[in-house]
Chains A and B, each alone.
Chain A
Amino acid sequence: MFYREAGDFKTSYQQDNQTFPIRFDRYRYYVVLAVAFGVVPFLINDYWANAILVPFLIYAIAAIGLNILTGYCGQVSLGTGGFMAVGAYACYKLMTAFPEVSMFIHVILAGGITALVGVLFGLPSLRIKGFYLAVATLAAQFFLVWIFNRVPWFYNYSASGQISAPEREVFGILVTGPNAPSWAIYLFCLIFVTFAGILARNLTRGTVGRTWMAIRDMDIAAEIIGVNPLTAKLSAFAVSSFFVGISGALFFSVYLGAVEVGEAFGIQKSFLVLFMVIIGGLGSIFGSFAGAAFLVVLPVVLKVVGVDLMGWATDIVAHFQLVIVGALIIIFLILEPHGLAQLWRVAKEKLRLWPFPY
């Protein structure tokens, strides 16, 4: 009824190619953006920012990054945690070396450095595939964590081996450190998420994205029709690592403020982001957001419901969390292997026919 193409006439190629061809979708997108930028910053408090929204936004960037590599280009990676660590440590070194430079530049540069590292570790993907590549990226994960623990230069020779974010500003507003207002850190992350989302969406539906998908679907066939696997795979690694690096930089500087590489960027982080991508939906930008929201918000909701509303013991709730999240992952994999994004797609299809399905 509301959600349909009929009557929405496209008169130019540009209009025909837009991201949201359906008018309702387009308005929904603008409303979401308007609420996120115009309403939420006025309502947000420390709890919502630090416990829910900022981690969600940061994990969403990481999930978009991994989705480009795994979902669009078909290269399985277990090195996400390690690449996030590269972003975090690059950001830390830049923040401490050039304190007067805006955080925007630091975070983007940290993403760039991670992209270079990602390309380096992406080189084996030209020779090895599937599980073997997963093992190679696993090696990257362990190597990167080890090197950040081992080489004191990375953590500026601090006694504890931790890196902690000093206070840094963007246009005179603090975005890192404990005194940063919650609306500022939220908006700072939101800007990166928006930018990442738009960039990823447009990359994946253009030439670059099509070559990635060709490689994913059948690399030999792609080669025969003229896709260069070297540039396709390495560009996927570069773009993916760029996003993952940005998320790592934000994770360290804006969200946690002090980070210990083994704990924050260990193998469990790689798996967490991979789960987000799988639950959200491989090869979908929306899926990256849905997966991140699911795995960030669900534990908090379970805790609030279990401990605060029901008054159960904290350990029982923590155990239940593991059971419920684990069960949901299995249920999703069985009932909807394409993830939350597929549910969304099905819902949209249904909506198009509503109220007169045939």
Chain B
Amino acid sequence: MKKRLTALALGALMAAGPAAAELVFPSLSYRTGPYAANGIPFADGYADYFTLLNERDGGIGGEPIKMIECETGYNTEKGVECYESTKGEGALVYQPLSTGITYQLIPKATADGIPVHSMGYGRTSAKNGEVFRNIFNYPANYWDGASVAVKHILDQEGGDLSGKKIALVYHNSAYGKEPIRTLEELSKKHGYELTLLPVDHPGQEQKSQWLQIRREKPDYVIMWGWGVMNQVAIQEAVNIRFPMDHFIGIWWSGSENDVKPAGDKANGYKALTFHNFSSNYPIYDDLKKYVYDAGKSAGAGDQTGTVLYNRGLYAAMLAAEAAKTAQEIHGTKAITSQMMRDGMEALDMTEAKMTALGLPGFGPEFKVSCDNHGGNGFGAVAQWDAAAGEFKMITDYFQSDQDILNPLIEEDSMAYAKENNIAPGCN
């Protein structure tokens, strides 16, 4: 029995050999498990954008796109299996939507010469492209997020945070621990007191953390949560009547799925973002015409216009634009992963480009370069309007505290370079 199944597996592997002249974009998604509520809309958006390009433009630069979806369940072991099973098919770029899997893929993908785009997640110091040649995290990273959140609090408090208390409720993993260093540095600068409250995977159990918040009464709570943890945290905050407008989530803790279970009480909850919301963009007309009405939507097709669906669109759009740039640089339509890397490094997202794509003003403008793989760190704050049932931007995009972040990034990336014998440089 086992032998026959193994033979089957082998046959399947051979059948799925490298396909000629297709741009392969693997989608390491998760539609199951405790993080599925957030994984599904992102995966749908990612898939729908590529479907749109295939249906409307015949792919990128005339080259058809092949998207291979692989279920990771937010699990690193399955992520490795997905990576190994898709990389042989000429994968151009990986977007695993998981900080744990990103950490896993950073050395592997670097060795295989395949770029990884961890958009707004992953290892923050990958911003230093001289060390992390194949890793990109534009347009913003976790440390930008932490700094943007603190800047917003500064605005609220009239520029003075001395003596204030800020609590960080975080997913007890590499993901949730990322902002701690930045928040500690910022607390030295601004004089607030930081309380750390880890929540263990998957995050359904948060009673003690919120009890502590009720007891210590921090002025603000910042959250680094994902999946079911977000919903539970917002519900718990409602239960202890924590003022919602003093509760700020990172961009991964700010989707409709997270706030809706708490009902009207979640009104006023804030979350960061690095792109715009809603389906009021010209691209949605095309999506409707070529994808939805043609019955080609990914998944159940019920996620359109949600925050994370838009983020999936945005991720796919950035990948497609990088592929276009790569095609221009190398003068060939059939690009390889190495060329894709060059395209990502030369990516220049301008307002004109976004308008031409039907996404005017959708995200901040940024330009990637070898020494900056992470964009300029612009983020905005959005607030949940429970009556309207949507997140609304309450600030413009503003930049994180680069004076604090750049030395931290330099330090962390150089430590990585030293540990792994990488000579930093642009060639």
A contact set with B: CB distance below 8 Å: 45-47, 50-51, 55, 149, 159-162, 164, 166-167, 177-179, 255-260, 262-264, 266, 293, 297, 300-301, 303-305, 307-309, 313-315, 317-319, 322
Of B5, B103, B174, the most chain A CB neighbours within 10 A belong to: B174
The stretch of B73-81, B226-234, B245-253 in contact with A is B73-81
Query: Are B420 and A160 in touch, CB under 8 angstroms?
Result: no
Query: Are B84 and A162 in touch, CB under 8 angstroms?
Result: no
Given contacts A51-B80, A260-B76, A262-B201, contact A178 B108 (CB under 8 A): yes
Query: Are A50 and B178 in touch, CB under 8 angstroms?
Result: no
Query: Are A47 and B88 in touch, CB under 8 angstroms?
Result: yes
Q: Please, which residue of chain A has its CB at the minimum distance from the CB of B75? A: A263
Complex Cα distance A166/B107, Å?
10
Given contacts A159-B181, A319-B32, contact A256 B108 (CB under 8 A): no
- With a cutoff of 8 Å between Cβ atoms, the chain B residues found around residue A258 in the complex are 76, 103-104, 106-107
Query: Are B81 and A51 in touch, CB under 8 angstroms?
Result: yes
Query: Are B200 and A257 in touch, CB under 8 angstroms?
Result: no
B118 contacts A by Cβ under 8 Å: no
- With a cutoff of 8 Å between Cβ atoms, the chain B residues found around residue A305 in the complex are 5, 8-9, 12
- With a cutoff of 8 Å between Cβ atoms, the chain A residues found around residue B85 in the complex are 47, 51
B31 contacts A by Cβ under 8 Å: yes
Complex Cα distance A225/B143, Å?
66
Compute the total of residue contacts between A and B using a CB distance below 8 Å.
127
Given contacts A55-B77, A178-B107, A256-B77, contact A50 B201 (CB under 8 A): no
Complex Cα distance A119/B201, Å?
28
Given contacts A304-B12, A317-B71, contact A262 B172 (CB under 8 A): yes
Query: Are B84 and A50 in touch, CB under 8 angstroms?
Result: yes
Tell me how far the C-beta of B341 lies from the nearest C-beta in chain A, rounded to whole angstroms.
16
Complex Cα distance A274/B324, Å?
50
Query: Are A179 and B111 in touch, CB under 8 angstroms?
Result: yes
B419 contacts A by Cβ under 8 Å: yes
A51-B84, A264-B77 given; 14 more Cβ-contact pairs under 8 Å: A47-B13, A51-B80, A51-B85, A159-B177, A162-B174, A164-B103, A167-B421, A179-B111, A258-B106, A301-B5, A303-B71, A314-B71, A315-B32, A315-B40
Of B16, B81, B412, the most chain A CB neighbours within 10 A belong to: B81
Query: Are B84 and A318 in touch, CB under 8 angstroms?
Result: no
Interface string of B285-311 (1 = CB under 8 A from A): 000000000000001000000000000
Interface string of B235-256 (1 = CB under 8 A from A): 0000000000000000000000
Of A260, A315, A317, A318, the most chain B CB neighbours within 10 A belong to: A315
B2 contacts A by Cβ under 8 Å: yes
Query: Are B107 and A309 in touch, CB under 8 angstroms?
Result: no
Q: Please, which residue of chain A has its CB at the minimum distance from the CB of B29? A: A314
Complex Cα distance A166/B421, Å?
10
Given contacts A162-B174, A262-B173, A301-B8, contact A314 B2 (CB under 8 A): no
From B2, B40, B421, A297 is in contact (CB under 8 Å) with B2
Complex Cα distance A245/B75, Å?
22
- With a cutoff of 8 Å between Cβ atoms, the chain B residues found around residue A308 in the complex are 12, 15-16
Query: Are A318 and B73 in touch, CB under 8 angstroms?
Result: yes
Q: Please, which residue of chain B has its CB at the minimum distance from the CB of A166? A: B419
Tell me how far the C-beta of B126 lies from the nearest C-beta in chain A, rounded to whole angstroms.
12
From A167, A179, A255, A314, B70 is in contact (CB under 8 Å) with A314
Number of interface residues of B (CB under 8 A): 53
- With a cutoff of 8 Å between Cβ atoms, the chain A residues found around residue B424 in the complex are none
Query: Are A260 and B173 in touch, CB under 8 angstroms?
Result: yes
Tell me how far the C-beta of A56 lies from the nearest C-beta in chain B, rounded to whole angstroms.
11
Q: Please, which residue of chain A has its CB at the minimum distance from the CB of B79? A: A256
Q: Please, which residue of chain A has its CB at the minimum distance from the CB of B175? A: A160
Tell me how far the C-beta of A136 lies from the nearest C-beta in chain B, rounded to whole angstroms.
21
Tell me how far the C-beta of B47 lies from the nearest C-beta in chain A, rounded to whole angstroms.
11
- With a cutoff of 8 Å between Cβ atoms, the chain B residues found around residue A161 in the complex are 173-174, 177
Q: Please, which residue of chain B has its CB at the minimum distance from the CB of A266? A: B201
Tell me how far the C-beta of A321 lies from the nearest C-beta in chain B, rounded to whole angstroms.
9
Given contacts A51-B85, A314-B69, contact A257 B12 (CB under 8 A): no
Complex Cα distance A293/B5, Å?
12
B350 contacts A by Cβ under 8 Å: no
- With a cutoff of 8 Å between Cβ atoms, the chain B residues found around residue A266 in the complex are 201
Q: Please, which residue of chain A has its CB at the minimum distance from the CB of B182? A: A159
Given contacts A159-B412, A166-B420, A317-B71, contact A264 B76 (CB under 8 A): yes
- With a cutoff of 8 Å between Cβ atoms, the chain A residues found around residue B212 in the complex are none
Query: Are A159 and B173 in touch, CB under 8 angstroms?
Result: no
Query: Are B111 and A314 in touch, CB under 8 angstroms?
Result: no
Q: Please, which residue of chain A has its CB at the minimum distance from the CB of B412? A: A159
- B88-121 at interface with A (beta carbon < 8 Å): 88, 99-100, 103-104, 106-108, 110-112
- With a cutoff of 8 Å between Cβ atoms, the chain A residues found around residue B13 in the complex are 47, 304
- With a cutoff of 8 Å between Cβ atoms, the chain A residues found around residue B373 in the complex are none
B6 contacts A by Cβ under 8 Å: yes
Query: Are A297 and B6 in touch, CB under 8 angstroms?
Result: yes
Given contacts A314-B29, A318-B73, contact A293 B12 (CB under 8 A): no
Query: Are A262 and B12 in touch, CB under 8 angstroms?
Result: no
Q: Please, which residue of chain A has its CB at the minimum distance from the CB of B32? A: A318
Interface string of B318-361 (1 = CB under 8 A from A): 00000000000000000000000000000000000000000000
Tell me how far the C-beta of B107 lies from the nearest C-beta in chain A, rounded to whole angstroms.
4
Query: Are A263 and B12 in touch, CB under 8 angstroms?
Result: no
- With a cutoff of 8 Å between Cβ atoms, the chain B residues found around residue A149 in the complex are 172, 198
Tell me how far the C-beta of B196 lies from the nearest C-beta in chain A, rounded to whole angstroms.
11
Q: Please, which residue of chain B has its CB at the minimum distance from the CB of A315? A: B31
Query: Are A263 and B178 in touch, CB under 8 angstroms?
Result: no
From B31, B76, B112, B173, A256 is in contact (CB under 8 Å) with B76
Of B13, B87, B104, B123, the most chain A CB neighbours within 10 A belong to: B104
Tell me how far the C-beta of B13 lies from the nearest C-beta in chain A, rounded to whole angstroms.
7
Tell me how far the C-beta of B239 lies from the nearest C-beta in chain A, rounded to whole angstroms.
25
Query: Are B123 and A178 in touch, CB under 8 angstroms?
Result: no
Tell me how far the C-beta of A101 lies from the nearest C-beta in chain B, rounded to whole angstroms.
17
Complex Cα distance A50/B76, Å?
12
Tell me how far the C-beta of B171 lies from the nearest C-beta in chain A, rounded to whole angstroms.
9
Complex Cα distance A263/B412, Å?
23
Q: Please, which residue of chain B has its CB at the minimum distance from the CB of A161? A: B177
